[in-house]
Amino acid sequence: MRVLTVVPLPPGPRGGIEDYVANVFRALRGRATLDVVAPSEPVRRPATSVDEYAASLHRVRARPLFRRLIPVGRTARREVESLVGTADVVHVHMPSPRLEAWAAMACVRGRVPLVATYHMDALYDGGRFDARSGMAGRLVESLYDARSARPTLSRAQIIVTNSRGYAQESRLLPSFLGKIRAIHQGVSPDHTVSKDGGVHIRQELTNGKTRLVTFLGRLVPYKGLHVMVEAAKSFSGKTVTFAVGGKGPLRSPLESEVDRLGLREMFRFLGFIPDGSVGDLLRASDVVVCPSISLAESTPIVLLEALACGTPVVGTRLGGSEETLPDDGVSGRLVAPRDPRALSEAIQQLLDANMWAPNRRSLCLRTWDDVATEYLRLYEEVLSS
């Protein structure tokens, strides 16, 4: 079976859709022949060899627009149409502006089955601590919805989301519920492995004197980090350290906010965390928090990875999070988004309910092999129909 996969950026360890696709591709190796089409990047970043992920990688001409890479030109469109003609199944990962719509139209013309994975409602991220940017943001989003997303979803035989609840709350998906299949996300074993149960990182960050509350991910508005900073005020004077792992455009504003609130001694900004250290940091933590404020991330993978490490988690009640995250007051809590008080109370409840220990028992572990197997079944289903 030959599958052409359409992505907004080539698969690789960058987080988000690229990381999701890379994990699925690794699990599909030897089970399907995978080709990738993605927009070209104005500056080529160092990339893992495409051989790790797929049989071939095709880059089509694109330009940066509205903080995304948008394919341009008739040559690029013809290249996509030609690639669709070589595939048994086409799989688009959304949002992939314009590229997804070109592929979907070519599928109709060539009678090639189309599967769409809808990762999130596309957001124009222009705010300082918010995930939208007023009228300009809404205009960009409505243009994408009308010109790219809706035509693609209309032409897909199956639409995959990470939860049924997300589909019901999404901006676009309620119109397509009859096509929806939920495939819950997997956990990478590489992100749960630890050399010493996190002891050395915990000692380095807390000196053995404080509890450790950790955020790990991109520092972008929809992650809701400003809510965590606000929640941290209630822990002032207590023995709690907040570790922030990851990089992104909000680092400087967040550090300024921490300084303004007089919380600098409580916070450690760690920068980028390499894959090989993720398991150590998650296992070192008493609680892992992701206070998302947008449906752009209703079920953060990092919380699933933390649970696989045996670490309690706090997430927010956003479209389907209750399908995959616990809310029992011991292994996890779910709180309303944008509510610092509820977030601080949930963190304290989990700190009170759990004492840290190295190599804690895994609370859940759904692998990417499980995810890949479900995708294979969907490919076979659309081919047989």
Question: Residue-wise pLDDT tens for the chain (385 aa)?
Answer: 999 999 998 877 666 788 899 999 999 989 999 999 999 876 555 444 566 778 899 999 998 877 678 899 999 999 999 999 999 999 999 999 999 999 999 999 999 999 999 998 887 654 444 444 567 667 878 889 999 999 999 999 999 999 999 999 999 999 999 999 999 999 887 777 777 888 999 999 999 899 999 999 999 998 999 999 999 999 987 899 999 999 999 999 999 999 999 999 999 999 999 988 999 999 999 999 999 998 878 788 899 999 999 999 999 999 889 998 999 999 999 999 999 999 999 999 999 999 888 767 777 678 999 999 999 999 999 999 8
One-letter amino acid at 80 equals V
Report the SS3 class of residue 64: strand
DSSP category for residue 147: I
The Cα–Cα gap between 78 and 106 comes to 9
pLDDT, residue 196, reads: 85
For residue 207, is it left (φ>0), alpha (ψ between -120 and 50) or beta? left
Note the residue count of the chain.
Answer: 385
In the DSSP assignment, the letter for residue 187 is B
Q: How many whole angstroms separate alpha carbon 147 and alpha carbon 183?
A: 26
CA distance 161 to 130: 24
Q: Which of 56, 61, 21 is nearest to 36 (CA)?
A: 56
Question: Does residue 167 sit in helix, strand or coil?
Answer: helix
CB 212 within 8 A of CB 311: no
- The answer to whether the CB of 35 falls within 8 A of the CB of 109 is no
Q: Are the C-beta atoms of residues 297 and 17 closer than 8 Å to each other?
A: no
As given in the structure block, the two tokens for residue 234 are 């209630």
Q: Identify the three-state secondary structure at position 39.
A: strand
| CA–CA separation, 78 and 84 (whole Å) | 10
pLDDT at position 101 is 98
Domain annotation for the chain: domains and CATH numbers: 2-186+367-384 (3.40.50.2000), 189-353 (3.40.50.2000)
Other C-beta atoms lying within 10 Å of the C-beta of residue 291: 27
Tokens 């079920």 belong to residue: 299
Global pTM reads 0.85
Q: Which among 229, 262, 260, 230 has a CA at the least distance from the CA of 244?
A: 229
Asked if residues 304 and 366 have their Cβ atoms less than 8 Å apart, the reply is yes
